Each structure stands twice: as structure tokens, then as C-alpha cells.
């Protein structure tokens, strides 16, 4: 393992490369990364980074996002198989079927979607700004892709008619009320913080619901010394690092995303050495996807 760490440091310097990692990556990768964040933060970093080569450790749509916003940079990934199963199912075909059923609806895609789906969207959104974006659109009907549970959560907060995709995040969807009751028996006084991608019945019983960034902010400012986390296990690494005196417990043993854990230090060092697995997007699709992302930024400032 030390060998891989040394090689990563050497190749980063040699190649003028930066390693960007998502919060759900294995701890060893978060540990060597130059930057760790959630999807939108990774986009911002890709845009601002001075490095010419970015190694993106996450799942494929995140690397596509980096290529969309920073087309002049080489975006490298450690493993081609790191595909999000939800994004794979909530694909262009799925979107087209929804559009056929609801032709009058605007299409809003979360940034956790493929480049192809973004390219066919009227606008993108994040979990943070989804409500603002949706409410500011002129259409009263919205197709919201790809996260089913997140879509349903947003639909409860707007008067507009939301048509959500049928595909939840399989990792967060595994968390059940029984998991919650079981862990609450062990740590009765610990508040429960859950990811927006969890099922409605789990969200309703939680003390706090948010995206990874909001969970981190809540945990950092909370006076509680113990907290139960209903988000992918990788988030615990960041929470523990930022709060060494607090204790964090994973709500369910199922909160491990296999697609995120497919990367490791060896693959990371190989990717930096060989620069073989490079993300490419058809320029027509990239431009359309970039337009949907830029429109999100414009609406965010406007409203």
C-alpha cells in the first residue's frame, strides 16, 4: 500500500495531475486525494483546478461532469466499471419514455445523471437548489430524473406536478425502518442524520435530512457527541476526521456502494502512471449538457 502511495505522489508531480475524490470513495483514496467533495463541489474544483490532468475517483457520471465543465483538461478514471447502477437505469431511453407520456413537462436532471440525460434536459439541479429551480420554471409539470426517492422528497415541497423516475439509489434505498429501530435501541440519545436518497419512511423518522455536504455541516455544528449516519459509509471518514471527539455510527450495514468501492490505491496509481482510461464525450452532447448546467447557475443567481 505504501508503495502505491509513493507512486501516486511521484506520478502526480510528473504528470501535473490532481486527484479529486468523492466522499463515498474508500478511505485510502480520500486520504491521498488533493480534493474531496460531493458531486457539485467536484465540478467546481474541476473548473478551477490549474492541473492539466484530473484523476477523478468516484463513479463515471462524476468524471463525465468534470469533462463537461472542463473540456480542455484530460479527465482520467481508475476503473471503467465504476458505474452508478441508478444512473445506468435512468438513462436516455427511460427519459424518452417519460417525455412521451408527459410531453408538456419540463425536464430537470440532477447533476447525478449521465451526460446524455443532461444534454436532453431543459436545466440541471442539485439537491440544494432543486426546489428553487423547479419553482422558477414556467412549466407546471416537471420530469425530474434520475433519483426516485430524492424526486419524491422534492415533490412533497412544491405545488408543481412532479414525475419522478422509477429508479432509486440502490444503496440508500436498502435502509429500512427496522435498521433504524435496531440502531436506536443501541444509541438511544444519538440523533439520526440521513441522506435525501433514503426512502420516505426512513427520512420521516430521522432528526435531519440532507445531502452529504449538509450532513457534514449539521454534524460539525451539532452539540451531540454521538450521531447515527444514514449515508454511504465513506462519509464517516470525513465526519470522524473533522470531529475527532464525536462518535459516528452507520445506520445500516447495507450503506456501502459497491460501485464507489471498486476503486483502490493500486488502480489509482496505475491510472496516474498510464493515463489510459480517459473520459471522452461527443462534443455535441457535451455542449448541450454544459448548457443545462450553466442554465442552472444562471437561474440560481436570478431567483
Of the two residues 88 and 184, which places its CB atom closer to ligand SF4 in the complex?
88
Nearer to ligand SF4, 73 or 233 (CB): 233
Q: Does the protein bind ligand SF4 through residue 170 (CB under 6 A)?
A: yes
When binding is defined by CB under 6 A, the residue of 29, 86, 145, 229 that contacts ligand SF4 is 86
Query: Whose Cβ is closer to ligand SF4: residue 17's or residue 21's?
Result: 21
Under the criterion CB under 6 A, does residue 85 sit at the interface with ligand SF4? yes
d(CA 154, CA 138): 17
* 169 near ligand SF4 (CB under 6 A): yes
Question: Do the beta carbons of residue 294 and residue 82 sit within 8 Å?
Answer: no
Alpha-helical (H) ranges within 137-282 are 148-155, 170-173, 177-186, 200-205, 212-221, 234-242, 265-274
Angle, to 10 degrees, between the axis of helix 60-69 and the axis of helix 39-48? 40
Q: Is 232 in the site for ligand SF4 (CB under 6 A)?
A: yes
Q: Which of 126, 171, 263, 268 binds ligand SF4 (CB under 6 A)?
A: 171
**Per DSSP, what are the bridge partners of residue 53?**
17, 74
DSSP letter at 245?
Answer: T
* Cβ atoms of residues 270 and 78 within 8 Å: yes
Q: Which is nearer to ligand SF4, 160 or 167 (CB)?
A: 167
Q: What does the block give as the cell for 175? A: 435502509
User: Is position 259 an interface residue for ligand SF4 (rule: CB under 6 A)?
Assistant: yes
Binding site for ligand SF4 (CB under 6 A): 24, 59, 84-86, 112, 169-171, 232, 257, 259-260
Amino acid at each position: 500500500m505504501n508503495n502505491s502511495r509513493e507512486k501516486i505522489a511521484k506520478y502526480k508531480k510528473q504528470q501535473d495531475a490532481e486527484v479529486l475524490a468523492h466522499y463515498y470513495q474508500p478511505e485510502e483514496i480520500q486520504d491521498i486525494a488533493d480534493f474531496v467533495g460531493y458531486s457539485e463541489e467536484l465540478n467546481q474544483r474541476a473548473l478551477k483546478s490549474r492541473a492539466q490532468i484530473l484523476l477523478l475517483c468516484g463513479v463515471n457520471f462524476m468524471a463525465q461532469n468534470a469533462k463537461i465543465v472542463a473540456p480542455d483538461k484530460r479527465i482520467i478514471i481508475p476503473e471503467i466499471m465504476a458505474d452508478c447502477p441508478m444512473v445506468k437505469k435512468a438513462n436516455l431511453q427511460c427519459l424518452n419514455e417519460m417525455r412521451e407520456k408527459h410531453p408538456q413537462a419540463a425536464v430537470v436532471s440532477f447533476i447525478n445523471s449521465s451526460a446524455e440525460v443532461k444534454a436532453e434536459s431543459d436545466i440541471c439541479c442539485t439537491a440544494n437548489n432543486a426546489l428553487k429551480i423547479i419553482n422558477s420554471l414556467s412549466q407546471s409539470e416537471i420530469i425530474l430524473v434520475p433519483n426516485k426517492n430524492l424526486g419524491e422528497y422534492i415533490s412533497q415541497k412544491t405545488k408543481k406536478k412532479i414525475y419522478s423516475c422509477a429508479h432509486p439509489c440502490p444503496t440508500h434505498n436498502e435502509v429500512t425502518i427496522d435498521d433504524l429501530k435496531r440502531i436506536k435501541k443501541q444509541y438511544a440519545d444519538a440523533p439520526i442524520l440521513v441522506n435525501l436518497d433514503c426512502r420516505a419512511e426512513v427520512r420521516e423518522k430521522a432528526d435531519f435530512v440532507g445531502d452529504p455536504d449538509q450532513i457534514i455541516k449539521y454534524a460539525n455544528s451539532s452539540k451531540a457527541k454521538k450521531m447515527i449516519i444514514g449515508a454511504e459509509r465513506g462519509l464517516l471518514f470525513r465526519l470522524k476526521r473533522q470531529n475527532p471527539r464525536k462518535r459516528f455510527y452507520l445506520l445500516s450495514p447495507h450503506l456501502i456502494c459497491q460501485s464507489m468501492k471498486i476503486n483502490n490505491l493500486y488502480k489509482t496509481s496505475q491510472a496516474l502512471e498510464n493515463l489510459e482510461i480517459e473520459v471522452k464525450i461527443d462534443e455535441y452532447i457535451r455542449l448541450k449538457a454544459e448548457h443545462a448546467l450553466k442554465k442552472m447557475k444562471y437561474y440560481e443567481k436570478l431567483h
